[in-house]
Amino acid sequence: MRIAVTAMTDEGLAAPVAQHFGHAPYFVVLDVDAAEVSSVESLANPFLEGHQPGEIPQFISEQRAEVMLSGGMGGRAIQFFEQFGIATATGAAGTVAQAVTDYLDGRVLGAKPCADSEAHGHG
């Protein structure tokens, strides 16, 4: 399984999870086989300075991710990920390693738009 996680730094598994999907400075993309991480790559967010709806989900899709984990995410982003066939989960916290463990153990599942997203019209 290939998982992408929003991150505040480029420290791979040790990076803190970014809580706002669209403003994440980095994405950590990792491969998990039988609950073991087999590869880790930190990618700078190419749209950090500004993005159009759908650009980041497309970028994540190009990385062949099957799952996107984040602290929070807007409704439109969730819809774009669904169009790309990528599962989303919000509520991730701690380090990237902890977020992946929480997801694999079923403690972080599903996505709903964050309150901030609702407030500024991202539904």
Q: Is residue 84 part of a domain?
A: yes
Q: What is the pLDDT of residue 123?
A: 45
Question: Is residue 108 a contact partner of residue 99, using CB atoms and an 8 Å limit?
Answer: yes
pLDDT digits (tens, 9 = 90+) for 49-84: 876 889 999 999 999 999 999 999 999 999 999 999
**Mean pLDDT in the chain?**
90
Full domain range(s) for residue 62:
54-66+77-88
Task: Kindly report the pTM of this predicted structure.
Answer: 0.90
Domains identified in the chain, total number: 1
Residue 99 lies in a domain: no
What integer is the mean pLDDT of 93-104? Answer: 97
Within a domain: 2: no
Counting Cα atoms < 13 Å in the Cβ hemisphere of 56 gives 30
**Residue 38 domain-assigned (yes or no):** no
Residue 6: pLDDT over 90: yes
